[in-house]
Chains A and B, each alone.
Chain A
Amino acid sequence: MALESQRIKLGNGIYLNLIKTDKFKSNLLSYYFIRPLEREEVTKNALLPLVLRRGTKNLPTSLQLEKKMEELYGSNLSVAINKRGEKQVIRFTMEWANGDYLGDKGYDYKVIDILREIVFSPTLEKGVFNSKYVSQEKEILKRRIESKINDKRSYAINRCIEEMCKNERYSLYQLGYVEDLEKIDESNLYRHYSKVLETSPIEIFYVGNYDENLVKYLEDSNKMDRKEIIEILEEDNIKSPMTKSIVKEELDVNQGKLVLGYRTGINYKDKLYNASVVASDILGGGPNSKLFRHVREEESLAYYITSSTYKYKCILLIDAGINFDDFDKAVDIIRKQVEDLKNGIFTQEDIDISIKSLQSSTEAIRDSIFLISEFFFSKVLSQDNRSLEEILKGFQEVTKDEIIKVANKIEIDTIYFMKNKVK
C-alpha cells in the first residue's frame, strides 16, 4: 500500500496535509510552526508551547484541560520543540482512540477543537498571557535547560556540536538559554506569539480515517488570511573543518564520553546524500558495523559506539562511552576505521547489510501514525518530492565508488571528551 498525502492550501503559508488510513486504532492531528533558528527567539519559541498547554479560553486551567482530555478517552497531547538544521520547529499533536472501538463514534470533533484552542485561543489576562503561567513555565524551562547534564550521552553530543559549530546558528541549544529567560515576560512573549501565528509557515497534518465532512471542518476552521510569511532560509553549510580542536571537559562522572565531530560537506540535496547515510551506517550503524566490531567486540573498549549523519547539517558524529584511560586507544581505532572506509576497505556485503537496514527502518514508518506525519512533514521541510518507494529505491542504487567518494570528503573537525575530575 502506497503512502499518499493530499495537500490543500488553506491560505498564505498554511497547508492541510491529509493521510488516509484505517490501519490504526487512533487518529492524529498535528500543527507544525516553522521558525528560523536564531538566538533572538530560540528561548521564546521553546517557552511558547509550555505556556499554551497551561490553558485555553474555554478551559483556562491545566486541571480543566487535563480532565477534559481524560474524559475523551485519554486523548494524548504532546508538544515539542525541535531543531531541524538551522530551523526551529514548534509542534502540537493530539492522538486519540478511534471511537469505533469504544462504542462512542464522532467525538473526533471535540478533540480537534481542543487542539485548535490550545494553539490559537490561549487563556488571556488583560490582553496578554497569564502572568502566573508565564513565570511558572519560565522556571520549569530553566530547570529543564539546567538538567541537560543529567543525560551525559546527549550532553556530550550537544557539547561537541556547540564547540564544532560555534560560529554557526546550528550551535544554538534548542531549548534556549537561562540568561535569555530573564528578559521574557507575559507581554513580550504574547507579542512574539502573535508574530509566530502571523508570520510562520504552518503545516497541519491529519492521519487516520475521515470523511468529507471532517475534511471540510478542518479546512474551514483553519483558514487564515495572513500577509507576510517569513522565508525560511536554507542552512549555511560549511564544507570543511573550522576549528580542528580537542575539547576536554572535567566533570564528576564514572565513564568517559567521547564524541568525534566530522564535516561531510554533503547535505540532503546532494546526489551523494544517500551514499553518505550508507557510509555512516557501515561505519557505526549497527552491531555489524566497523566501529562496533573493532571497538566493542574486538577490544572490549565500549558498550555503545555509533555513527550518525545529521540530515540538515552536513555533519557526522561518532560517539562512545569508554574508560578515561582509553581515550588515545579509542580515538586511534576510530580514525583507523574512517581511514579504511576512505581506502575502500569494506565489502559489497557490508554495503548490502547497511542498505537493507536503512530500508527496513524507512519502511517501518508505515507502522506508526506519528512517524507517518513526521515523514510527510520532513518532505515538506526539505522540499523533497520523492515517495517512500522512491526513497527506498534510492538507497538501493548506492555504489561502492560513491561511498568511497563520500568517505574522502569526511574530515575531522572537533573531538570532545568528557572525563573525570582529578581530585
Chain B
Amino acid sequence: MDIKEFNNHQIKEKILFSKTKNGLNIYFMPKKGYTKKYAIFSTNYGSIDNKFIPIGEKDILKVPEGIAHFLEHKLFEEPKVNIFDKFSKMGADVNAFTNFTQTSYLFTSTDYFYENLELLVNFVQNPYLTDENVEKEKGIIAQEIKMYEDSPGWRVYFNLLEAMYVDHPVKIDIAGTVESINTINKELLYKSYNTFYNPSNMVLFIVGDLSFDRIMEVINKAEKEYGNLNKSIERIFDIEPNGINKKIIEERMFTASPIFHIGFKDTDLGYNGEKKVKKDIVTNIILDILIGASSSFYNELYDEGLIDTSFGGYYTGKKLYGHSIIGGQSNNPEEVYERLMELISKPVNEILKEKDFNRIKSKDLGSFLLGLNSIEFIANNFTDLYFDDFLIIDYLDLLSKVQYEDIVNRFNEHFTQENVALSIIRPLEV
C-alpha cells in the first residue's frame, strides 16, 4: 500500500494519503491525545448539480429541486435494520449534510471507531430505496422545509441569491420546495446516486488518534466492488451572465426588526487549487478591512445606531460561482447600503491601508490556529478545500504568502456597483 505524507512543521501537523483498490481517496490527519475521532465521507455532488447526463445514458436529465438533499436522507435507509441503531449501539453520533456542491456523511465516536467506519462505508455505498420509503420521507422533509421558511436569516440569504443570479442553480433552495420534492421518485434517486456516488467523485477524511494502516485495512475490506466507474461526470451548467438578476428583493415576514444582506457577485471565476483558495483568502481580508469590527465604517455606523454586532461579511464561492455577502440587522437597511456604496467608490489607497492589511493577516493566522484545535473544524474545512483541489495543511503557508498588492487588485475588480444586489426582510405591517 502506497502512503503519501504531507507535513507542515510550523503547525506540527501532518496528513497521510492513500487510495483504495477502487480508486477512493483516503486522507487522514493524526491528532494525538484527542478523545473524539471523526470520519467524513463526501461526494462532490450538491444542490447545484441538477442537470447532468446520467451514467450510461446519452440525454441530459434535469432533476427536481432538492434531490441531492433527499438522497442524503434516504441513504440512511437499510433493509430491515435501522442504521441509526447500529451506530448508536457503538456510541457513535452519525449525521449528514448537503450544501450547494457536496453531500457528506459523518460520524464522531470515542470507541469502536473502526467498526463505525466500516458501517459508514457500507451504508453510503449501498442505497436501499423503495417506493414506500421514498414516499414516507416526503412528510419529514416537508417539515424541514417549513422550519427554514420560518427562519428570517435563511430567507434573507436565499432572496439575495435569487437577486444576484439569473440562471445559476446556486439560487435554488438546497432542500427544494414542498412541491418539488413531491415529484421525486425512486428511479430519479437511483440515477442521481449512480452518477455521483462513485469512488472517483468522492473522498473520505478521518481525523483523530488512530492508526492509518488499520483504517486502510477496514476500508479496503468494507468497500463495495465497483466496475469501471472512472468515467468523468457530465454536469451541465447554463452560462450565467455577468451582472445581477434583480437589484433588490424585499419580503415581509414575522420578525422583530429588518434584516438585510448585500451581495457582490463574483465574475472572476473558473479557478481551482491555490489560485482559487488565495482568491477566497484575499477577498475575506478585504471585507475585514472594509467593514470588520476594527474598521472606521463599522464603528461609525455602530455609533449612529445603524448596525449592531450582528453586522459582518464574508466571501464564499466555488469554481463557477462566488459572492461576498455583507449583512445584519438594521432599522434602515437602505442607508447602510448607500453608505457602503459610498465607501467602495472611494480611492482604494484611502480605504485599504497596508497597516490594516498586516493586522488582519495576523488575526487570520491566529484564528486558523485556534480552528486547528477542533476536529470538526479540521474535517469540514478539509473537505471543502479538497473539492477546491487544495490541502488544508498548506493553508497557513498560503495565507502567509498573501501580499498587499493582491488585495488592491481584487478590490478594484470585485467590489463594483454593477455586481451588487440587496435583500431585505421587514417585519409584518401591524
Contact = CB atoms under 8 A, between A and B. Distances in A.
A255 B150 contact: yes
A378 interface: no
B152 A150 contact: yes
Nearest to A23: B33
B228 interface: no
Interface in B101-155: 108-111, 136-141, 143-144, 146-147, 149-153
B143 A322 contact: yes
B211 interface: no
A31 B93 CA distance: 32
Interface in A186-208: none
B195 to A, nearest CB: 27
A367 interface: yes
B11 interface: yes
B308 A140 contact: yes
A24 B13 CA distance: 12
B7 to A, nearest CB: 15
Nearest to A302: B143
B294 A143 contact: no
Interface stretch (B51-59, B252-260, B274-282, B318-326): B252-260
Contact of A96 (B152, B254, B366): B366
B1 interface: no
Nearest to A95: B370
Contact of B136 (A63, A300, A361): A300
B91 A357 contact: yes
Contacts of B138: 300
Nearest to B175: A303
B147 A286 contact: no
Interface string B346-387: 000000000000011011111101101111000000000000
Interface string B20-42: 00000000000001111000000
B359 A70 contact: yes
A73 interface: yes
B143 A251 contact: no
B374 A368 contact: yes
Interface residues of A, number: 73
Contacts of A147: 255-257, 329
A70 B298 CA distance: 15
Contact of A67 (B36, B93, B143, B294): B294
Nearest to B299: A63
Contacts of B151: 150-152
Contact of B305 (A75, A139, A144): A139
Nearest to A66: B294
B256 A353 contact: no
Contacts of A364: 35-36, 108, 110
Interface in A139-172: 139-140, 143-144, 146-153
Interface stretch (A97-105, A310-318, A334-342, A400-408): A97-105
Contacts of A25: 11, 369-370, 372-373
Interface stretch (B80-88, B216-224, B239-247): B80-88
B143 A303 contact: yes
B401 interface: no
A277 B374 CA distance: 27
Contacts of A360: 36, 91-93, 108-111
Interface string A280-310: 0000001110001100110111111000000
A149 B299 contact: no
- Among A66, A136, A149, A251, max chain B CB count under 10 A is at A66
B316 interface: no
A301 B309 CA distance: 37
Interface in B261-285: none
A4 to B, nearest CB: 15
Given A136-B305, A147-B329, A70 B363 contact: yes
Contacts of A63: 294, 296, 299
Contacts of B146: 254-255, 321, 323
Interface residues of B, number: 66
Contacts of A106: none
Interface in A35-92: 61-63, 66-67, 69-76
Interface in B41-93: 82, 84-85, 88-93
A73 to B, nearest CB: 3
Contact of B84 (A286, A321, A352): A286
Nearest to A50: B309
Interface in B137-195: 137-141, 143-144, 146-147, 149-153
Contacts of A62: 293, 299, 302
A366 interface: yes
B255 A303 contact: no
A326 to B, nearest CB: 9
Nearest to B32: A23
A359 interface: yes
A75 B366 contact: yes
A71 B257 contact: no
Contacts of B367: 73-74, 76, 97
A286 B144 CA distance: 17
A410 interface: no
A140 B311 CA distance: 12
B12 interface: yes
Nearest to A257: B150
A72 B363 CA distance: 7
B10 interface: yes
A307 B363 CA distance: 40
- Among B137, B147, B364, B428, max chain A CB count under 10 A is at B147
A301 B136 CA distance: 10
A180 interface: no
A307 B272 CA distance: 44
A97 B254 contact: no
Contacts of A286: 84, 88, 93
Contact of B140 (A1, A288, A293, A303): A303
A97 B366 contact: yes
Contacts of B141: 303
B143 A323 contact: yes
Contacts of B299: 61-63
9 contacts: A73-B367, A74-B363, A102-B366, A144-B308, A288-B82, A288-B88, A304-B147, A360-B36, A360-B108
Interface of B: 10-12, 33-36, 82, 84-85, 88-94, 108-111, 136-141, 143-144, 146-147, 149-153, 253-257, 293-294, 296, 299, 302-303, 305, 308-309, 329, 359-360, 362-367, 369-370, 372-375, 428
Given A74-B364, A102-B365, A367-B35, 5 more contacts: A70-B294, A143-B256, A287-B84, A323-B146, A360-B92
Closest 10 CB pairs of A and B: A73-B366, A300-B139, A74-B363, A287-B84, A356-B91, A74-B366, A255-B146, A97-B366, A66-B294, A252-B254
Interface of A: 1, 23-26, 61-63, 66-67, 69-76, 95-98, 101-102, 132, 136, 139-140, 143-144, 146-153, 251-255, 286-288, 292-293, 296-297, 299-304, 321-323, 349, 352-353, 356-357, 359-361, 363-364, 366-369
